[in-house]
Structure 1
């Protein structure tokens, strides 16, 4: 496992050097309280990560009909990220909010997450 821990740290270093800070935003629904009959308001949870925003290549566009014009590929370092992104997460990059389009790929050899590869759409 030490090898993959080193690879996760290296991925974080490389993405930090050549990428940018991105914000992952999740909305957590308030849980219903049967004693009071009320549901508290939703809460927004934000966390920062290191990511690289890339264009899809021509081959990727030809091979995948789910990629639309304007979609981007986002690679996020898993190291240092307390909770991974989900399909319901929003990604904020340089003030622009992006939605995650399935599938959300986790590069995870031997149970150690190295990075997440997302298709994002504005």
Structure 2
């Protein structure tokens, strides 16, 4: 086991202990059916563990102004990559009954080993 594999395992253990269960939902549009005027969607849910945090203005390095990168109400999610694909913009994050839209994704991925996903999420 490499050093970064150990770090990924440690991050997962800490998020399981201090975080909570979260679901990453990916919706992939299917082929358009001109006869019915609809397209089928494929919805895939990935069960994971993470922690949600409020953005601190100084820590984020951004201001909370509409049409900027971080807006009022946005949250930061630290998500374990264990059993989880790399989230993409447009995915949804489910926290119980709350549904958040993934706005931005940063993968902590040294030497090709995913250790942590940092998400910016918005309602």
TM-score (norm 2): 0.84
Contact 2:89 2:102 in 1 (8 A): yes
- Report 1:66-81 matches (<5 A): 66-81=69-84
**Distance (Å, rounded) in 2 between the aligned partners of 1:115 and 1:55:** 18
SS of the aligned residue for 1:30 comes to strand
Give a deviation string over 1:23-66, Cα, whole Å, max 9, x none. 11111221469xxxx986111111111100011113135x2132
Structure 2 unaligned residues grouped into runs of 5+: 64-68
Structure 1 residue 86 corresponds to structure 2 residue 85: no
Instruction: Count residues in correspondence.
Output: 116
Distance 1:70 1:78 in 2: 24
Runs of 4+ in 1 over 3 A off after TM superposition: none
Cα RMSD of the aligned pairs, angstroms, is 2.1
The answer to whether the 8 Å contact 2:107/2:114 transfers is yes
Cα displacement (A) at 1:2 = 1.4
Task: Rate the CA distance shift 1:64–1:3 in 2: closer, same or farther, 3 A.
Answer: same
Q: Aligned partners of 2:117 and 2:106: how far apart in 1?
A: 6
Check if 1:12 corresponds to 2:12.
yes
* Corresponding residue to 1:98 among 94, 97, 100: 100
The gaps in structure 1 that reach 5 residues or longer are: none
TM-score by length of 1: 0.85
**1-side partners of 2:49 and 2:78: how far apart?**
8
